[in-house]
Structure 1
Amino acid sequence: MNRPGASDQPGTSEGKTTVPEIDLSSYTRGGDGSPHLRGYVARPEGEGPRPGVLVVHEAFGVDVEMRRHADRLARLGYLTVVPDLYSEGGMWRCVVGVMRSLSAGHGRAFTDIAAGRAWLLDQPGCTGRVGVVGFCMGGGFAIATASDFDASAPNYGMLPKDLRAAVEGACPTVASYGARDRSLRGAAPRLKAALDEEGVVNDVKEYADAGHSFMNEAPNGPRPLRVLLRATGSGPVPEAADDAWRRIDAFFTEHLGRAR
């Protein structure tokens, strides 16, 4: 059943037939989520229903790159939503609180993610099978919330402090990391070992020539930080990104059902 206020809200259509900005606050009302939770929606073309995918954004928020990722998932045939975890004040006011929530394993950000999942399940165009895709900080949430979804794709995702507890009961997981990512050195084999130990079906791959944010199409984040990010090997690596997307689509097709 659709909840009041769950439908698309007026806004900029950006040339699309449906409005990409939605109000998700009806799903957080009365709880500890964001009172004014917003989201970005990308819808596949053609007749549904389709599997749903929730994207958890990286530390820079729902920027151009995160919208590109959502649009790409829609082109692959997935009904996609990106809850804005910074809805209550933007990146600079919210990032610390969201990171604290990730570290604690509970809090507003987790409620906001659950709200996005509930919205997908309420849509007549969704099959009822929902995956989660996350990038960087969002990849950490994709690991931490994997027990709530049918498939998970953390990309250069931060590992929870208690990794073993985080993957207990996790859904099938396809993960991608860059060997040149100094901030996540050793994360890929650690995640795979934990998933294997728990008996979780997984496909974890580390790309030798990639660093952090290698799936982005262009450098992102505040301009003063971009020089530093480039110096640490962060940024697009198209060949690795294409392979990672191919693996995600194949894995999600297997575990969520055919998207197109």
Structure 2
Amino acid sequence: MGSIVEFSAGDIEARGYLAVPGAGSGPGVIVVQEWWGLDSGIKAMADRLADNGFVALAPDLYHGELAEHTEMDKAGELMSQLPPERAAADMSGAVDHLLGLDSTTGAGVGVVGFCMGGMLTFLLAATRPDAVTAAVPFYGYPSGEDGPDLSKIDAAIQGHFAETDDFFPPDGVRDLEAKMQEMGKAVTLTVHQGTGHAFMSPHDALDSYDEQLAETIWPQFTGFLHEILD
């Protein structure tokens, strides 16, 4: 369904995977990759969002690099070598490109991110509060002192996280939700019982895909995005 497009990201040219709904237009959503890169799984997520009426753009944050689902060490290396400022610039350029398309309706965009992309969802919402009005992070969240300035976020957030997750423990989810709610942010972060990291991912690289839960969550978060972006 989709195609590779190029766009400006600061002083460089970036690229991403763009999927447009059959109707030809709809609200814009940025899709932020897992630590594997811009792989078939993320493209499939963008395609499915297009099937749900969104113009979906997934920026290629690794600039062509990719880890196979059996290459966790390589994926970790690629993630660790991604400077947050470059990721922010690429995602911000993707936002501007998305808003500049005739097919994108509305003045704001949503962002959906998985794993590493869940963490970067908060970063994009903090760096582009002028444009990001809805955010849906899966599994990942920022932690530590080097995270984004959460006080700058204006987007409504609906997050989905795993109960058993060594990468992003659920205690951190609850602490983050309480912190952001104390700031007055519109945020709901749900820890789903009986789940492991990447429970939404059909590639099932971690043997944790929960198809029944995934099919329950899809209309929840797409309905949330439509409610805010339409």
Q: So what's the TM-score if we normalise by structure 1?
A: 0.76
Q: What's the counterpart of residue 173 of structure 1?
A: 157
1:121 corresponds to: 99
Larger radius of gyration: 1
Q: Matched residue of 1:173: which SS?
A: strand
Tell me the residue number matched to 2:79.
Answer: 95
Supply the distance in 1 between the matched residues of 2:14 and 2:45 (Cα, whole angstroms).
20
TM-score (norm 2): 0.85
Contiguous gaps of at least 5 residues in structure 1: 1-15, 221-228
| Aligned residue number for residue 195 of structure 1 | 180
User: Which of 84, 107, 123 is equivalent to 1:144?
Assistant: 123
Name the count of aligned residue pairs. 215
Residue 43 (structure 1) aligned to one of 5, 9, 20: 20
Give the counterpart letter for 1:117 in structure 2. Answer: V
Shift of 1:129: 2.0
The aligned counterpart of 2:211 is 238
What displacement does 1:165 show? 5.8
Indicate if the aligned counterparts of 1:37 and 1:88 stay in contact, CA closer than 8 A.
no
SS of match in other structure, 2:200: coil
- 1:28 aligned to 2:9? yes
Quote how far apart the aligned CAs of 1:209 are: 1.4
Paired AA for residue 23 in structure 1: E
Q: CA deviation at 1:59?
A: 0.3
Q: 1:16-44: CA deviations, max 9, x gaps?
A: 4xx611122xx125x2xxx3422101111
Give the deviation of 1:69 after TM superposition. 0.9
Identity %: 27
Which one has the bigger strand percentage?
2
Contact 1:57–1:82 (CA<8 Å) still a contact in 2? yes
* Aligned counterparts of 1:40 and 1:164: Cα–Cα separation in 2: 27
Contact persistence 2:122–2:148 (CA under 8 A)? no
Structure 1 runs (4+) deviating above 6 angstroms are none
Amino acid at match of 1:131: G
Query: Which range moved further: 209-218 or 183-192?
Result: 183-192
Cα 1:115–1:205 change in 2 (3 A) is same
Secondary structure in structure 2 of the residue aligned to 1:210: strand
Alpha-carbon contact 2:36-2:66 (below 8 Å) kept: no
Which residue of the partner structure matches residue 80 of structure 1? 56
Partner of 1:10: none
SS in 1 for 2:152: coil
CA shift, 1:169, in A, is 2.7
Partner amino acid for 2:227?
E
Question: In structure 1, what is the Cα distance between the partners aligned to 2:65 and 2:196?
Answer: 30
Letter in 2 for 1:248: F
Distance 1:192 1:41, change over 3 A: same
Flag the 1:174–1:84 CA change in 2: closer, same or farther, 3 A: same
1:252 corresponds to 2:221: no
* 1:242 shift after superposition: 2.0
Whether the aligned pair in 2 keeps the contact of 1:36 and 1:87 (CA below 8 Å) is: no
Partner of 1:160: 143
User: Are the counterparts in 2 of residues 52 and 78 from structure 1 also a CA contact under 8 Å?
Assistant: yes
Cα distance, 1:163–1:97 mapped onto 2, change above 3 Å: closer
What does the per-residue CA deviation read over 1:179-234, in whole Å, with 9 as the maximum and x for residues that have no partner?
Answer: 022322213212211221111112221110111000011223xxxxxxxx34xxxx
